[in-house]
Chains A and B, each alone.
Chain A
Amino acid sequence: MVYGLLLLLTTLTVTATSCADAAEKGILNVPLAQLDIKPAQVEARGTPRGTLTIAMHFALDPGWLDPLEHSYAVTQQMYDYLVHDAMIKPMPYGYVTYGLAEHAELAADFRRAAFRLRPGLKFHDGHPLTTADVKWTYENFKGAYAKIFHDKLEHIQVVDDRTIIFHFKEPFIDFMDLYNGGVGGIGWIVPKHYYEKAGRDGFKANPIGAGPYKLVSQEAGVQMVFEAFEGYWRRTPAAKTIIVKGIRDPAARMAGLQTGELDLAFGMTGKLLPRLMSDPNLRWDPNFTGPWWLMFPGYNEQNSPFHDKRVREAVSLAINRRFLVQQETQGISKVWGNWISPENRDALQGPDAPAPEYDVAKAKQLMAQAGFPNGFDVEYLPFPPYFDMGERILTDLRAIGIRGKLQSLEGPAFRAKIGQGRKGVPGNRTIVQNIDPRAGGSKANIAVYAVCASTASFICEPQIESLWAKHQASRDLAERERLVKAIQRILLAEYYFVPIYWNSFVHGIGPRVLPEGKAVSKYWDTLNAPYPWPWEVWEVKADR
């Protein structure tokens, strides 16, 4: 008996060692850049049970099921995590973790990247997932950041069914960042054989992937029904069925939670939050996403009142952030000193970005010194549907003479305006209240909102441009981090951006979700994720 156990133990050890060896065996055989990719946590297999019904706060788009046309919107990743799987992706145990790949390498000159797939991977239809699918996905990808991937690529070398090497024409320093499933779509692998057969529309209507859930049915814009894929490599999904509904009306989502028709509802911040918090049958998670911040389009024009740093500083001083946090989020959110989420890499926080002070007297003084003792009129553009928050900020600003007219736009219309930068917001007496829980490190936020080249940027400062140019040219990751932090310091010190608070985008949870009590917050452990993925870990009580 003892001999038998010893033999078994030896066999297991040898197997584990040889697996680990296989995973660690080099591919590129050149000096490598240091990568911080956490190993995948393969969990025990069980039996899926119960139905988890989720309410999203907008209509569902079947296009979200197709990673090849991945948009920039972070929402699409919710569906990536359901149906598909990525080579590397953010998980609760690391921002970059191994997914379909069990090993990755990046050459020190950033001209080659290699991956080895884990053995035995299969799509939902049982077809094996190989490097041919990885290559095909890369070559046919048309979504966010596609141009940079295609422009940089020299060729793709398929070494065998499990090993693939990407060769780049020039150093591609951001490759691993952008290939990470948390940022874009190209790393989520699509089945070549099925996509070619089903076609673009057919795939969106009935997608197949290698993720933990299979799509069973969908009504475009209304509902998607997913069923556990028991062959998923990492673990058996805990919930047998996941139903996602698109419910735009927050009161309807609240009612659904209260009647038990929903188990999880997104976007419960605002007027309904006290009702959610006071219901003894319901729970909530603060779900910190990104900080709110104010921007001043056209501040760099001489005739803009915001051209004077003192005015921008006065705006910051006039906002009673603690009161705002209390009113808007029942005190859950945190007054914050940076406009980039602390969960995003290289973001300034703590003593580097202290919480801004509230001092109306000083703000008035600065306004007078800047030549605006009686204030001025502005347009105020809040991120929808946070119009109450906008009104509260305007009330604060009125105390120092800044009189604002609030423009309430629908979400897509607001995003369209902001996305076009100065073209979308042409005046120079406008304050924009924005939030953007963007993944990909702080550099991603800066690239969009703080440099001249971005169409969405209101900032064009020589000092920042010079640092940014150095950052883009640098291959030294430590130097890049320093430069990104230096840019943030300028943005904050000059009040180009005025941070308000780190927002909690509260999610409501029904009584059927396990575990009981506050332990349910474990589902929100994935860094920089506005939604609680991965989905295979969600447990619910068995259906009645």
Chain B
Amino acid sequence: MKKYVLVRALYSVVTLWLLVTIVFGLVRLTGDPVAMKAEAGADPAYVAQLRQSWGLDQPLYRQYAGFIGRLLRADFGHSFEKSLPVRDIYFERLPNSLKLGLAAFLISIALGVPFGMLSALKVNSSWDNAGKMVALLGLSMPGFFVGLVLIIVFGIQLRWLPVLGKGGSAFVWSAPSTWLTFWFRDWNHLVMPAFALGWYFSGAMLRITRSGMLDVLGSDYIKLVRLKGVPERMVVAKHALKNSMIPVLTFAGLNLLIMVNVAVVIEVIFNWPGVGQLLYDALSNRDFPMVQGVVLMSGLMIVLLNFTIDVLYGYVDPRIRLSR
């Protein structure tokens, strides 16, 4: 088992190294960030100084070596566009994304899982049709459309909810008093963006719950349980639900990472100061260090999740660790 974990850890490190190397190369294909910042008519000396201060006057291999060296010290460099250390800006935004992502995640679970189960249990009934309709709407109505409708109805017409930003609460790493209060304040700001983001994922969640549940309900061991005369409620709650949730939870974990890291459109519409909007700004401004930092952190989360899943699979199923 130890060897298996070590091999998986090595794979994870190699994956991360490949990721940062590819991103390092790809961002540099987008063009010259200095030309973007310099404006028309900028003095060549100013341009040269900007290039030097951003380290772009160095040959590519030196830039790469510097980048990797800094990464090993957990330093992502300075943002070209926002002039401060990338790490500081990223960790200022991350709690906002986590707050939005977690709320959207809960909404997608709360909508998707019960409706999915209901659809599976009442298959081909009007409940099932209603569930299918919800799934279809969830998948076909993009989050930005739902977001705009919510803004018009609940923000502009009814004036029930604010439409911009996250409110006054902030997670400040240097102020422990905010570490808890941040999650429970300004919920009125969170409702619409979380629903618009969670809505899309709830459709997918509903479908995967339904199919998972149907698979399990049709399996031999459930038939055996039923033959033993166990009441249907117990069959579902005790025997079917747990097993049908395995693919749902795997899927939900990945969804959560996506919601935290790339909720770009929703963040832009609601001006939610998350990591997605940070990446969007960075990409459109050729802010190399910021793009590298954000992609690396997203990649790190995904790699860690996969590593954890791999290790857990290996732990629960010896065939997996022996086969590798």
- A→B interface (CB under 8 Å): 59-63, 66, 69, 71-73, 142-148, 201, 204-205, 219-223, 245, 247-249, 251-252, 255-256, 258-259, 261-262, 410-413, 415-420, 424, 436, 438, 444, 447-449, 454-456
Contacts and interface: CB of A to CB of B under 8 A. Distances in A.
B136 interface: no
A142 B49 contact: yes
Contacts, number: 150
12 contacts: A60-B82, A72-B39, A72-B46, A147-B46, A221-B277, A221-B281, A249-B269, A256-B163, A261-B164, A416-B36, A419-B39, A419-B40
Given A249-B271, A415-B39, A419-B35, A220 B163 contact: no
Interface residues on B, range: 35 or more
Interface of B: 31-32, 35-46, 49, 78-79, 81-85, 88-89, 92-93, 148, 151, 155-156, 159, 162-165, 170, 268-271, 273, 277-278, 281, 284-286
Nearest to A74: B39
A143 B79 CA distance: 17
B41 A454 contact: yes
A59 B269 contact: no
B45 A220 contact: no
Counting from the closest, the 7 A-B pairs by CB-CB distance are: A63-B83, A448-B41, A416-B35, A456-B40, A72-B39, A147-B45, A222-B273
B82 to A, nearest CB: 5
Contacts of B49: 142, 146
B35 A201 contact: no
A219 B84 CA distance: 11
B82 A252 contact: no
Contact of A221 (B46, B78, B165, B273): B273
A61 B92 contact: no
A262 B284 contact: no
Given A62-B82, A255-B151, A415 B42 contact: no
B89 A259 contact: no
A437 to B, nearest CB: 12
Contact of B284 (A223, A412, A454): A412
Given A204-B84, A220-B82, A221-B82, A455 B284 contact: no
A438 B39 CA distance: 11
B109 to A, nearest CB: 28
Contacts of A201: 78, 83-85
B163 A261 contact: yes
Contacts of A73: 39
A422 B221 CA distance: 73
Given A144-B43, A420-B35, A448-B41, 9 more contacts: A72-B42, A148-B43, A220-B82, A221-B89, A249-B268, A252-B269, A255-B155, A412-B36, A419-B38
B89 A245 contact: no
Contacts of A413: 31, 36, 284, 286
Nearest to A249: B268
A281 to B, nearest CB: 11
Nearest to A417: B35
A147 B81 contact: no
Contacts of B164: 245, 247, 252, 255-256, 259, 261-262
B141 to A, nearest CB: 18
Contacts of B35: 415-417, 419-420, 424
Contact of B92 (A219, A261, A410, A420): A219
A418 B148 CA distance: 35
A538 to B, nearest CB: 20
Given A248-B268, A261-B162, A59 B82 contact: yes
Nearest to B48: A147
Contacts of B42: 72, 144, 419, 455
Contacts of B40: 72, 415, 418-419, 436, 448-449, 456
A63 B79 CA distance: 10
B162 A259 contact: yes
A143 B39 contact: no
A411 B280 CA distance: 13
Nearest to B265: A249
A415 B34 CA distance: 11
A145 B151 CA distance: 45
Contacts of A417: 35
B188 to A, nearest CB: 12
A245 B163 contact: no
Nearest to A65: B83
Given A147-B45, A205-B84, A220-B89, A252 B162 contact: no
A63 B84 CA distance: 8
B41 A419 contact: yes
A220 B41 contact: no
Contacts of B162: 259, 261
B153 to A, nearest CB: 12
A201 B277 CA distance: 23
Contact of A220 (B31, B84, B156, B284): B84
A446 to B, nearest CB: 10
Contact of A410 (B37, B46, B269, B284): B284
